[in-house]
Amino acid sequence: MDKIAVVMNPSSGRGLAAQLEPWLRLRLRDRVEILKVSPDIDAAKWARQKAEAGYSRVLVIGGDGTFRSVGAALIGTETPIGLVSCGTNNNIAAHCGLPHDHHEAVEIALSEEPQWVSAGRIGDYVFFEGAGIGLEADLWPVGEAFVRHRFRDILETPLKLAGDRSVELTLEIDPPSERQTIKAFTMTISNTPVTGAHLNLAPGIDIRDPKLYLTVYHDLGRLKLMASAHALSQGHKGHGYTTTRYPFMRLKVQSEYPCHVHADGTLIGTLPIEVVSIPKAIRVALPPPGALLTPRPPDEVALQPALIEKS
């Protein structure tokens, strides 16, 4: 009999994740083992152990952060992951076309065909949405404060809005290759179209694509970025700046200026960095094309996965 492991963050969705537990136990009975996330428990290690013990699927009931932690732990296995999103942003679920109804999402997680999705790695840190360098990394906490309605955090963020300046950055894309020196305020690395506070930074890309995408913002300062936030959340580019996008499998970025770097919202250090794409990182249960599902709320709307060109 197939066994199902469930990693549940009981605080996600203002306790909505925990409300699924009685129904889930009734639905799966003795086939299910549930771990509730808490500060003293290594949920990622537990999920890896269950995958190696032969459990047929690992379900994640929580937000993007819980999914990232468990997904990173399961790289190198073929155990499918099912995502039931109960978080704040829910970018991965929106991009993958998963339903807003949590019972529907559980059924997809349990029964639908898994598909390989990609990830990225900076040092030892694995990400599934994206990363940011420079200004975007500095302003990430502001975007999170907006979407979580923590307005005091916005007021207390030390932004020197009048002191913008671009910095000189050296890029090596899929080395060995010729180094490029550019000037930019910020750069983003995308594995999904939408990241953070519903910012649609890379329309048209697909988490199943083996490549990551670097976007260089040449003249997007702090004020322009904050002014463009609404347009970006709607999938539009905004105005007053130019961008260049590069697909890559491996990327090196250096600068004499110690630009901050974040990955999936976690500040992980400063330049220099090396970014590596991880194709076929994990298998995720996704709905079939054309499935009639409960739509996600407007503030989670993202572009559906683009078709990957067959080479």
Please determine, for residue 89, whether its predicted confidence score (pLDDT) is greater than 90.
Answer: no
Mean pLDDT of 172-191: 90
What DSSP string describes the chain? ---EEEEE-TTGGGGHHHHTHHHHHHHHGGGEEEEE--TT--HHHHHHHHHHTT-SEEEEEE-HHHHHHHHHHTTT----EEEEE-SSS-HHHHHTT--SSHHHHHHHHHHSPEEEEEEEEETTEEESSEEEEEHHHHHHHHHHHHHTT-HHHHHHS---GGG---EEEEEEESSSS--EEEEESEEEEESSSEETTTEE-STT--TTSS-EEEEEESS--HHHHHHHHHHHHTT---SS--EEEEEESEEEEE-SS--EEEETTEEEEES-EEEEEEEEEEEEE-PPTT---PPPPGGG--PPPPPPPP-
What integer best gives the mean pLDDT of the chain?
84
pLDDT in tens, 216-228: 987 755 555 555 5
Please determine, for residue 165, whether its predicted confidence score (pLDDT) is greater than 90.
Answer: no
Per CATH, the architecture of 125-279 is what? Sandwich (2.60)
Position with higher pLDDT, 200 vs 65: 65
Predicted confidence band of residue 284 (pLDDT cuts 50, 70, 90):
very high
**Domain residue extents for the chain:** 4-113+286-300, 125-279
pLDDT in tens, 124-135: 999 999 999 986
pLDDT of 295 reads 78
pLDDT of 145 reads 44
With CA atoms as reference, report the closest residue to 28 among 100, 110, 99, 105.
110
Q: What amino acid occupies position 148? A: R
pLDDT of 310 reads 37
Please determine, for residue 269, whether its predicted confidence score (pLDDT) is greater than 80.
Answer: yes
Mean pLDDT of 140-153: 47
Please determine, for residue 162, whether its predicted confidence score (pLDDT) is greater than 50.
Answer: no
Position with higher pLDDT, 1 vs 103: 103
pLDDT of 304 reads 44
Please determine, for residue 16, whether its predicted confidence score (pLDDT) is greater than 90.
Answer: no
pLDDT of 11 reads 87
pLDDT of 224 reads 55
125-279 matches 4-113+286-300 in CATH topology: no
Position with higher pLDDT, 238 vs 288: 288
pLDDT of 196 reads 73
CATH topology of domain 4-113+286-300: Rossmann fold (3.40.50)
User: pTM of the predicted model, to two decimals?
Assistant: 0.85
